[in-house]
Amino acid sequence: LQLDYRGRPRTLLVQAYCALLLFCAAVPFSLSLDVAHLKRSVKQVNVVPFAEVASPTPALKTAGAGEADLYRQWLRFKQGSRWAAEALSFLILAWGLRKVFRREYRFPSVSAALLTLWIGCGMMLAVNVVHLLVVSRVCDVTDALFQGAGLLLGMAVPIRADGSHSPRTHGHDRRLQLRLSRFALIGVGGWIAFNGLLPLAFRFESGRWTQALRSHDLLPFFAYFHARMPVMLDDLAEKLVSFAVLGGVWAWGRSLAGERHPSAARAAWYGTLVATGIEIAQIYLPLRVPSLTDVILGGAGSAFGAVTWRHTRRLFRDIVKRPRRTGHKLPPPSTLSPFEELLASLAEPDENAPRESLPPVSSPRRRGTPPSDPIR
């Protein structure tokens, strides 16, 4: 199957984003197609909204009175941040779909909204079906509610459908994107810091530095040796993806500011600084153990995000927006709807169609005038 994305880079970007949503839904990749597991997963579906927070976990049952309150607070904040991420991911999906349909395919607003709802609901169904296949996940109706809320909010975000590229409009779009990249960088960094500082109950006691430095969990990747494989993969993927998004957003902002090749080393340095600050703060947090693993994952994930952004930008510049080698130029986008284009193609003859050759018609002459004389 040969796909031509020249002139339609947002289509490829939205398709890659849908694949990324399915990839994140499959983490930690403990998939099972066993019929017994599928029946068990269907029976364990939480059909009551917010039932996962109210139900006690094994950690709450075995913890003491004070630790149980901290675990409950940690679980509440953790679920809230996860639901916010679900809503934000589908908000971005709906906004991207509407922008593709309006600016690249020139659909009317109603048709673009209906197609966005159709594809968004299909992605919601696909993500929750993937949750059913993962052994360590439970399908929850609360996730679907936040995904639907994000989808509706994304449809309410205004977009400009004309796609004009005048110098004034281009400069305004660039400033708007630069401002948006700064807000996104602050939001992603705040989300990482919020999840790293849970349960937000600091205890400034003496001896915590000594206890943290003497702990075996401070060693890189030592805590993963006595953890279950799904928990390890889930924690590893969450931290890598979070810092990769942070590095990608930073590289996006630097490219908008005029830097042609954002440095992956600088992105790794900033990610390491953020992770180090979080680990130092975790010394004064109960139920948290500082580790050098998060510092390494922060630097590696940020560098990976910056490199991914740089190669993605090069892909769009060198492949998607490159004209054909044969000199063929894409026609300008039409301002008509698909139905109006169909009516216009039926009403007007095709100019490129081959025409039948007619016999040459001789010029009329006056009666009695010789052929050599000009007609007066």
Q: How far apart are CA 276 and CA 34, in angstroms?
A: 42
- Tell me how far apart the alpha carbons of residues 78 and 238 are, in angstroms, rounded to a whole number: 12
* C-alpha dist (Å) from residue 51 to 134, 135, 364: 20, 19, 94
Residue 64 in tokens: 């003491």
Q: Distance of CA 125 to CAs 23, 31, 45, 317, Å?
A: 14, 17, 14, 34
Two tokens, residue 240: 């890598």
For 322, the 3-state DSSP assignment is coil
Global model pTM greater than 0.75: no
Distances (CA, A) of 17 to 92, 94, 97, 306: 9, 11, 10, 17
Alpha carbon distance 110, 116 (integer Å): 10
Helix (H) or strand (E) holding 249: helix 229-256
User: Cα 167 to chain center, whole Å?
Assistant: 29
Q: What is the pLDDT of residue 172?
A: 62
Digit-coded pLDDT (tens) for 336-352: 555 555 555 555 454 55
Q: Which of 119-123, 126-130, 314-318 is the least confident region?
A: 314-318
- pLDDT tens digit sequence for 309-324: 888 888 777 655 555 4
Distance (Å, whole) CA 118 – CA 284: 48
| 371 token code pair | 């052929």
- Is the pLDDT assigned to residue 371 strictly greater than 70? no
> Closest Cα to residue 246, out of 296, 188, 195?
188
Q: With beta carbons less than 8 A apart as the criterion, state whether 200 and 206 touch.
A: no
Buried/exposed 139-149: b ≥16 CB within 10 Å, e otherwise: bbebbbebbbe
CA nearest 78: which of 187, 174, 199? 199
Distance CA 15, CA 312 (A): 14
Select the more confidently predicted residue: 349 or 196.
196
Task: State residue 355's pLDDT score.
Answer: 52
Tens digit of each residue's pLDDT (9 = 90 or more) over 38-79: 888 888 888 877 776 655 555 444 444 567 777 787 888 888
